[in-house]
Chain A
Amino acid sequence: GESVGLHLPTLSVQEGDNSIINCAYSNSASDYFIWYKQESGKGPQFIIDIRSNMDKRQGQRVTVLLNKTVKHLSLQIAATQPGDSAVYFCAENPPGGFKTIFGAGTRLFVKA
């Protein structure tokens, strides 16, 4: 079935370094992509999104890159901080319907 996958289930980075979390999506018709952050005991929290007519979008310390040619999505976190430690999910919305497809998640550890 359709799925959103992640290349790395865990990622450990040094505080202050940049982090890159990757994601592969399978539905070439998906036109909206979202990154979520989930901290322990909480629900997923929206971080940043991007529409298929864009290839890059920047937020505060975060950047999402979309490569439609290879169906790849990435989340870059600049100057990673201990508070960034969490599980990160990518998600895609195929056009129409209500089926947001979530990846399995990547756990980010930030070492002080």
Chain B
Amino acid sequence: DAGITQSPRHKVTETGTPVTLRCHQTENHRYMYWYRQDPGHGLRLIHYSYGVKDTDKGEVSDGYSVSRSKTEDFLLTLESATSSQTSVYFCAISAPDRDNSPLHFGNGTRLTVT
């Protein structure tokens, strides 16, 4: 899957605990993204990165933060998990010509917040 690895694949955590999801790519692509997928809402952009230490918010960024200290790694952190953050999280990358390149996705992390 385009050299994208997400970890962990499954996570169960309690409300109020911090959680970090990791995305690792081997394609050396500049652009990386975090999406969440929920029934009835499709895929929604949480945060994205356009380079090392360059990140910005997507449409559903509240309660999430990201970091990108290396080209290959993009971390998503839930500072204090809530039940509404139960979802499947997908990392994606895209080629340099971002406006005319498709996204390539990892296989997701299923997060359950109890």
Contact surface of A with B, Cβ cutoff 8 Å: 31-32, 34, 36, 41-46, 49, 51, 89, 91, 93, 95-96, 98-100, 102-105
Contact = CB atoms under 8 A, between A and B. Distances in A.
B61 to A, nearest CB: 12
Interface of B: 1, 4, 31, 33, 40-45, 48, 50, 56, 58-59, 90, 92, 98-100, 102-108
Given A43-B1, A98-B33, A104-B40, A32 B100 contact: yes
Main secondary structure of the interface of B (DSSP, over half): strand
A42 B108 contact: yes
A89 B45 contact: no
B107 A42 contact: yes
B102 A49 contact: yes
Contacts of A34: 102-103
Of A44, A46, A89, most B-chain CB atoms within 10 Å: A44
